[in-house]
Structure formats: structure tokens, C-alpha cells
A and B are shown apart, each in its own frame.
Chain A
Amino acid sequence: MSSVNTLAIPRPAEAGHWGKEVRSDLHVSIEPRDRGGLEITLESRVGIYYGSSILSQTRQVLESLGVKHARISGHDEGALPFVISARIETAVKRAGLGVDKKVLPEKIARAGPSPRDRLRRSRLYLPGSEPKYFINAALHGPDAIILDLEDSVHHAEKDAARILVRNALHGVDFGSCERMVRINQLPLGLQDLTEVIPEQPDLILIPKVERPEQVSQADRMIDELKSRDRIDRPIWLMPIVESALGIENAFAIATATPNIAALTIGLEDYTADLGVAKTLEGRESRYARTRLVNAAKAAGVQAIDSVFGDVGDLAGLRQWGENSRALGFEGMGCIHPSQIPVIHQAFAPSQIEVDKALKIVAAFEEAQQRGLAVVSLGSKMIDPPVVERARKLVVGAKAMGKA
């Protein structure tokens, strides 16, 4: 009863960031009051061009959230409209107002649903509280972007990031990138799901998974939200295994639900769990990585590698990526756009591999046409698994524009 009362009493609150170094953000403070209507003051870096637009947007957002009487002051550093409404909504909710209401930005047309086995070579991490990185992320051509609500977001900013990420999913053009969200560990992650699932992300990354039940729990929640909102688009899952126990349970995790599209590993936490240093060669995680690949393949899902932390070392990244592909991984995470082309090169088959695979596939097709049971290339007989691997490679190479 008392906690409900505290919630019901509106209080001053603020949200967002401003300052000389801040870009594309808005800081809002709100002082709720009983009467006097809305009193809005605004200082904006782009005031001459968008000042009146920001003011009218502010009014609209406040009205939609049912805020009738308050003093609001904004410091704008060139925030885009989807950021402006997210920051205002966050401040309003922190003030104890606008409960159960939300304001979405103008909707952007979404790309079609994501196939379960689509190309996932690179996924670019975008800190969920840094709006300036969102808008141009897709231009750099990653296979996916990840709006991160977990490690890159400070505890005190989880609510703000959630609303910002929700608005980004609704209103930011991520082009042909797969739209992924990394939620927080459960149970906090369940609140993230409530906010983002209505915006139909293509894939949810669940961090620090150790047991299949953690995946099932999130999966059930997503199903409920989907049926509530009548969403029939697939929303895939990618559990992140980041501990020794998780590795031991990798297969069970990978088969926890048919909605899993890929399994990935978090090496920072994993090496910490082992109490060893993470090295450039990755010797200490070789067992975990091969075990994860095996579990993923056994479950019929993709195996995706961790991130490579040294943004300056593109040669090291290339080597890591090539090694990763050789182990059976199909992609990895990126923390900077400059890593994307390097990863794509590392995960692409070589021209020699592609040419050979094309020959094998051609030989197979010819044998089929001629009704031969045995496929041969030159003097060599080709076994069915070799043909299958060649077909997969050709399909992948075509998707990468290599064949």
C-alpha cells in the first residue's frame, strides 16, 4: 500500500544527457504540479532550425502521456525526434506520471521477416543509451545490429535505454540489417521484453544463460506478448553462453525451444569464470568454443563467436575470424563499424573453395540428370556429404556475393 502511494505522488525527475561532448541527445527535467498547465523552456543547439518543432513535439508527447500540469525544461544537443520523445517519456515515468502509456515516434517500414538460417556473419553492438550511434549503424553494412540493454547500459539508465531502444525499433531505418536486442539477465530481462517485443525485433539475445529453463522462460514470455499483440512474425532467440556451467549445458540450451536460431559465447565472462586471462590466440577458450560449435550443430542452429575487443588490431581480428570460421563458427560480434568488412572477409570462403564447390555441385547435377548414382569429378568419386558441404558453401558464397 505504501509503495503504491509513493508511486502515485508525482515527483521531480530528469532524463537524458546534455553537455559540450554530448551529441544527438536531449536532457529533460520535469517538475509536476497541480495546476498552471504546461510551462516549457528549451535551450537547443539547433533551436533556430528546429526549436518550434521540438516545442510542439514536447507538447504532443506530454499530452499523450496525460501530463497536464508541469514545468519542463529541455537542453537539446540536436536529438532526433525518436530520441526526444523517448527522453520526455522517461522523465515523465520517472516522475511517476504517464503510467501504462507510451508515445511512439513516426513508424518506419520494416524489412521482411528474418529467415532462421539467414547470414549472421557480423552483428554490430549499439549501446542502448547512446542514440547518436543508432541512425547511421546500418550504413556500415553489418548483417545485424544489436540494440544492447545489458552490459553497455548503466543500472540507473535501464529504464531510459528500454524506451529509447523501443522507439528506435519503431522509427529508425536499420535497412536490411537483422534487428536484434540484447536484453538483461532474467528477471530484469522480462521487463525489457515487455517494452521491445511489441516492436517486433527479429532476434533476442539472452545473456549469461546457464540452463535451458532460462531460455524457456524468456521464450514463453515472448510467446505471450506475441499472441497478445497478434504478432506472427518470427522472433528468434540467440542464447549467450558465458560460463563453465553454460558450456556444459550447451546442447540442452540450444534445444530448449525451436525458436533458437543461433548459439553464441561470451568470452570475457567465460574466461573470468575460469579465472584465466583472455589471450589473443584464444587457447584458453578453445575447448569451450569447439564444444559450443558442436552443441549448436547437433541442435541444428548456427554457432556464432564472441567479439574481438581490440578495435585497433584489424589484422588480429582477421586472424581470429579466420580461425573462428575454421572451427565451425558462422559469424561474430563487432564493437566498431571498422570491424565489419574484416569479419566479412574472414568468414567468406576463398575463391579456390568456391570454385571447387561449384565444380562439385555441377558434377552432382550432371550425375542427377544422367541418372547416375555415383558422382565423380575427374578421376575422383565424390561422397554425398562432400556434395552437401559444397552446396552449403555455394549457397553461403552466393549470399555474400562471392559466387
Chain B
Amino acid sequence: MSERIELAQNAAGRSVPAMVNGRPQIPFLGVGQYQPRGRKAAPPICSTKDYPENGDKRVANLETALRNCGLRNGMVISNHHHLRDGDRVALMALDAAAKIGVKDLVWFPSASFPSQKAAIELMQSGVIHHIEGSMNGPLGDYCTQGKMRGMGVLRSHGGRWQAIQDGEVHIDVAVIAAPTADAFGNADGSHGKSACGSLGFALADSTYADRVIVVTDNLVPFPCVPWQIQGNNVDFVVEVDSIGDPAKIVSGTTEITRSPDRLRIAEFVARFLRDAGIMRNGFSFQAGAGGIALAFVDFLRRMMKEDGVKARFVRGGSTKFLVELLQEGLTDYILDGQTFDLDGVKSIGSDPRHVATSPFTSYNYHGKGNFASLVDAVVLGATEVDVNFNANVVTHSDGRLLHGIGGWQNCLAAGCTILAVPSFRDRIPVIIDEVTTLTGPGELIDVVATERGIAINPRRQDLLDAVKGSSLPIRPIQDIKAEVERICGGKPARPKLGDRPVAVVKWVDGTVLDTIWQVS
């Protein structure tokens, strides 16, 4: 990794590597500027004659399955993250690969979690060459300290689908943890002791990978109904005792923030939707499972009841707060990408109006449209926002990896994108001159809501007009920034970042938006 990496300047003025892990890259050209061409990637054609007639694709263990898949040095192995921090299957698969003796794998999870920090040892021992997927905690530090052999590639959920579909990443073997499955490989996430709700993140893997292994701890006789993963895409089924720790797969309950400042932000956002006329019959919204987002849903629910307004659909990450909206008739549907708590899991497994979606339907930018742009308003977090409304969600202000991108970039396509953020954290201002890592271009970010006031992007004159006469504290972003800098005793010093790229942030169209630099 000591060779010089050639850098290019992209349309956002960011320095990005021209090559990543041996593949030439296209620097970000601007929102909507890159025109993809060609045809989608596809897995090899298979024949039924090569699969058991009785449909029983079980093999004794993962090691056998991986051998049968022909796992070799340098291949790409993938997992989904629906079991979140409770997942056992990804490490099981990587350990099995280590036992077989393969090296230099590219691990391609839809996200990694702190409980998977053992992947560091597998990188040190050479089993894994590098990770392409979100990294945080110990894995994030390993990457930003420049210890990983390859470059990290951070993609949004939609961007991951796009990369697989467009052939940027070819998955050799997909290992899919399934809370319920049959021996044919049909699999479902909503039932079983390790239920996690939707399995949408594994759909691309099951469709595009050369070989697909389903790992389950709840094998049911054919047919597994409903099936989110089609057994017709599956090569092998492995039965194990446990695919994950249920306590960490979903939280028992998701809790609203109790911080008065954060509640204030949540209330501002809900009032904004009402005052701007976005909250009206037939509208739609999406909010995550963070404390502010949950409180926002709670405030909005009260306002919807007061005004007699009903949504057509809400987008999950589902929690009990969205489930309550559904049960109270305040929305016709929940379109759910992932399921965060037990109420969500129960609902998606039993209520036909609670529908599992995938990154293909929701987020993929290289498709014939996607759901994200049909959503009227989305409420997101960020670690930093700059005065031009550009935002960072992946790194701390000191350049260390903090979060994956998740669906964040994809959600920016909504009619109104609102970042709900405290104006400073631990004396560190959130609104700054220039973000450390550009994750979302400011032209797509419409509103920044803080406890000290709401800033509307000047590009959105329509929103500025819509809230004229509102009692909300609408303020220029510079104004909020200046106030916070006064409180914090001046602008924060800019951390010194290294000059060696250790990872890149992809935009939703596969172009390179920004670089993560090595930190000491």
C-alpha cells in the first residue's frame, strides 16, 4: 500500500482516487450527471438437472457448502446485516472460509457491526483482504488507521444494489442468514426464534451472486411461506443451532429520547411538516429509529390526529411507533426496509399492510425510478452540515469512521429532506464551514432543524414561502452557526487529516463522492 495513489478532483471539489482496489473509478460528476450504459450483470445460467429433484439442498455445514461453492482465494463473499449486532452467520462463514484455507477474500456485507470485530484478526491473518461495506467502531478504526490492505468502499443501501447490478462488484458466494427457511432455500425473515423482519438487503445477493448459501436455525418443511428469498436462486442450505442473538437482533423496545433539547428538535420537525403543508391527507414520510426520529413520529402522530390527517404510506425502518400509526389507521401502509423492534417484527409477520421492501424497490438509482423519490418528507441525522447544506454522516469531525451510509444518501431524493441535529455536541459545533467527509450534496438537503432554530436551504424558496407566518424559529443557517460558535468559544480547529486514502464514499450512481483519509 505504499504506492502513490493518483487523485482526481470531482465535481464537488473533492480529491478522490482514480483507482480503487484495481478498478478505475468515475469521480462524482454532479447530481444526475452520470449516464450509465450497458447491460446489467447476471449470474451464470444453471440447470435444474444439477440440483436435487426432491428439492433438498441441505449440506452438513458451512465449510462443506463453501467448498461445494468453489470458494477460492481472492473471491468476494457477502452477507446481509438484518441481524444487526446479533448476527453470528457472517463470522461463521468467514471462519469456515479460514478453515478451508482460502486467503484474500473481499468481504462484502451490507453493513458491519461492532460484534464482528473478529474480522480484524481475519484481515491480519490474510483470510480477508479488505472490506467493502460500512465500517464503524473497531473495524472503522482499523480502516482509518490505514491497516487494511485494500481500500474501503462505503456505499448506500441503494448504491450497494447498483454496484451489484451494474457489475462493479461481482459476488462469488452469498451467505444469507435466514430466520426461517425450507430445504429448497426459500427463506423468510419475519418468523422463527431469530426473526428480524424484512430480508430485503439479501435480495440482490440472492439474485446476482454466482453461488448462494442459506443458513437457518428454523428449518421448516417445504414450502416456507411467505418467502422473501426464492429457493430457485439458492445452491445450498445449512442448518445451524443459532444464527444470532435475539436480544441484539431487534431491541425489545425502542425508546424516545428524553433529552429536552432533542425533543424540541423533534417537535420543530413535526411542526415544520404541518406548517409547510407537507402533512396533508395522502402524504408520506420516512424517519429512522434514532431517538429524535422516534420522538418526531410521536409528535407528528398527535398533530395528524388533531388535524384529522392520514398518510398513504410511511417508510420504515419500522418500530412500534410506526406500527401504532398503522394500527390507529393513520397510515394505509408501512413499506419496510428493515425492522428495528419486536413490535415491528410482529407486525410485518402478521399484517398484510406492513410490507417488506428491498433496496431495489426503495433505493436503487439505476432503475426505472425508486420509492425514495415518492416520499414527501424524510427526517435524517448527520454528524456535520456545512453552510451550503452539504452533510456528513460517515465520519466524526476528526475523520474517523463513525456510521455507515445506510439508506441516508438514497433518502435525499425525498420531496423534503430534513436533517434533525443538535446545534453542537460536547462543544463541537455541528454546522461548520466545510464538512470533513461529503456524504450528501447540499442541493438535495432542504432543511436543517436544530434546537436553536430551523434553517431552510435558500434553493427552496417554495419552502421558505410555505412557512411564512409560522411561529417556528426559521433562521439563516449562518445565523445559527454564528450563535453556536459564540457559545463554543470560537470555531473549532480543523483536524489534520492524512494524505493517504483509506476508503471512498460512493454516490448513489457509483461515482466517487469523497475520500476517507488515513488518520494517525
- Complex CA gap A140/B263 in Å reads 10
Residue A46 at the chain B interface, CB threshold 8 Å:
yes
Whether A46 lies near B492 (C-beta < 8 A) is yes
Could you say which of B139-147, B199-207, B410-418, B483-491 contacts chain A? B483-491
Against B, the Cβ 8 Å flags (1 = close, 0 = not) of A172-190 are 0100000000000000000
Against A, the Cβ 8 Å flags (1 = close, 0 = not) of B447-470 are 000011000000000000000000
Residue B395 at the chain A interface, CB threshold 8 Å:
no
With contacts A80-B427, A139-B451, A139-B452 taken as known, whether A48 is within 8 angstroms of B493 at the C-beta atoms is: yes
Whether A49 lies near B493 (C-beta < 8 A) is yes
Whether B427 lies near A338 (C-beta < 8 A) is no
Among A78, A81, A173, contact of B426 (Cβ-Cβ < 8 Å): A78
Which of under 10, 10 to 19, 20 to 34, or 35 or more describes the interface residues of B? 10 to 19
Taking the closest CB of chain B, its distance from the CB of A163, in whole angstroms, is 18
Whether A338 lies near B260 (C-beta < 8 A) is yes
Against A, the Cβ 8 Å flags (1 = close, 0 = not) of B414-441 are 0000000000011110000000000000
**CB interface residues, B 71-122, toward A, < 8 Å:** none
Among B260, B426, B489, B492, contact of A24 (Cβ-Cβ < 8 Å): B426
Taking the closest CB of chain B, its distance from the CB of A342, in whole angstroms, is 13
Q: Tell me if A's interface is mostly helix, strand, loop or mixed.
A: loop
Whether A49 lies near B452 (C-beta < 8 A) is no
Which residues of the partner chain A approach B398 to less than 8 Å between Cβ atoms?
48
Whether B260 lies near A50 (C-beta < 8 A) is no
Chain B residue nearest to A136 in the complex (CB) = B261
- Complex CA gap A136/B495 in Å reads 27
Taking the closest CB of chain A, its distance from the CB of B426, in whole angstroms, is 3
Whether B490 lies near A53 (C-beta < 8 A) is yes
- Complex CA gap A136/B425 in Å reads 12
Q: How many A-B residue pairs have CB under 8 A?
A: 57
Which residues of the partner chain A approach B261 to less than 8 Å between Cβ atoms?
136, 139
Whether B260 lies near A79 (C-beta < 8 A) is no
With contacts A52-B493, A53-B489 taken as known, whether A78 is within 8 angstroms of B260 at the C-beta atoms is: no
Whether B426 lies near A23 (C-beta < 8 A) is yes
Taking the closest CB of chain A, its distance from the CB of B453, in whole angstroms, is 9
Taking the closest CB of chain A, its distance from the CB of B265, in whole angstroms, is 10
Residue B515 at the chain A interface, CB threshold 8 Å:
no
**Residue among A45, A48, A52 with max Cβ neighbours from chain B (10 Å):** A48
Chain A residue nearest to B491 in the complex (CB) = A49
Chain B residue nearest to A124 in the complex (CB) = B260
Residue A395 at the chain B interface, CB threshold 8 Å:
no
**CB interface residues, A 131-145, toward B, < 8 Å:** 135-136, 139-140
Q: Can you sample 28 A-B contacts with CB below 8 Å?
A: A24-B426, A46-B427, A46-B428, A48-B493, A48-B495, A49-B427, A49-B428, A49-B493, A49-B495, A50-B427, A50-B488, A50-B492, A51-B493, A52-B493, A53-B489, A53-B493, A57-B489, A77-B426, A80-B489, A135-B487, A136-B260, A139-B261, A139-B452, A140-B260, A140-B264, A173-B487, A337-B260, A338-B263
Told that A46-B427, A53-B493, A336-B260 touch, could you supply 16 new A-B pairs with CB distance under 8 A? A23-B426, A24-B427, A45-B426, A46-B428, A48-B398, A48-B495, A50-B427, A50-B493, A52-B493, A77-B426, A78-B427, A81-B489, A135-B487, A139-B261, A139-B452, A337-B260
Report the 6 A-B pairs with minimum CB-CB distance, sorted nearest first.
A78-B426, A49-B492, A337-B260, A81-B489, A78-B427, A48-B495
